[in-house]
């Protein structure tokens, strides 16, 4: 890390989360998509808050299980 750059690496992640905000529901032509978009926005907001608060926890066993499942999938 550049000593002149005093920004903590965790702060860059927070900035990246803000840049990755979901697209507006107004761009959806279907009303059903609007409901799903709102649910997705709420879920993303909840996750972002947990990350920012430092309360987000990764389920290591679930990550490992999914990784193994993916590795064992037949390749085409």
Tell me, letter by letter, the H, E, C secondary structure of 48-62. HHHHHHCCCCCCHHH
Dihedral of CA atoms 24, 51, 58, 17 in degrees, nearest 10, equals 40
Whether residue 50 is contained in a domain is answered as: yes
pLDDT given at position 32: 76
Tens of pLDDT along 18-71? 555 555 544 545 677 888 899 999 999 999 999 999 999 999 999 999 999 999
Per the structure, the count of domains in the chain is 1
Q: Please indicate, yes or no, whether the overall pTM of this predicted structure exceeds 0.85.
A: no
Q: Residue holding tokens 């702060």?
A: 11
Whether residue 3 is contained in a domain is answered as: no
Q: Residue holding tokens 């037949």?
A: 74
pLDDT given at position 25: 45
Whether residue 4 is contained in a domain is answered as: no
């Amino acid at each position: 890390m550049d000593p002149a750059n005093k920004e903590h690496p965790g702060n860059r992640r927070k900035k990246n989360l803000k840049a990755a905000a979901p697209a507006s529901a107004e761009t959806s032509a279907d009303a059903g998509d609007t409901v799903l978009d709102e649910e997705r926005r709420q879920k993303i907001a909840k996750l972002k808050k947990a990350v920012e608060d430092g309360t987000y926890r990764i389920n290591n066993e679930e990550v490992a299980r999914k990784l193994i499942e993916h590795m064992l999938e037949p390749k085409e």
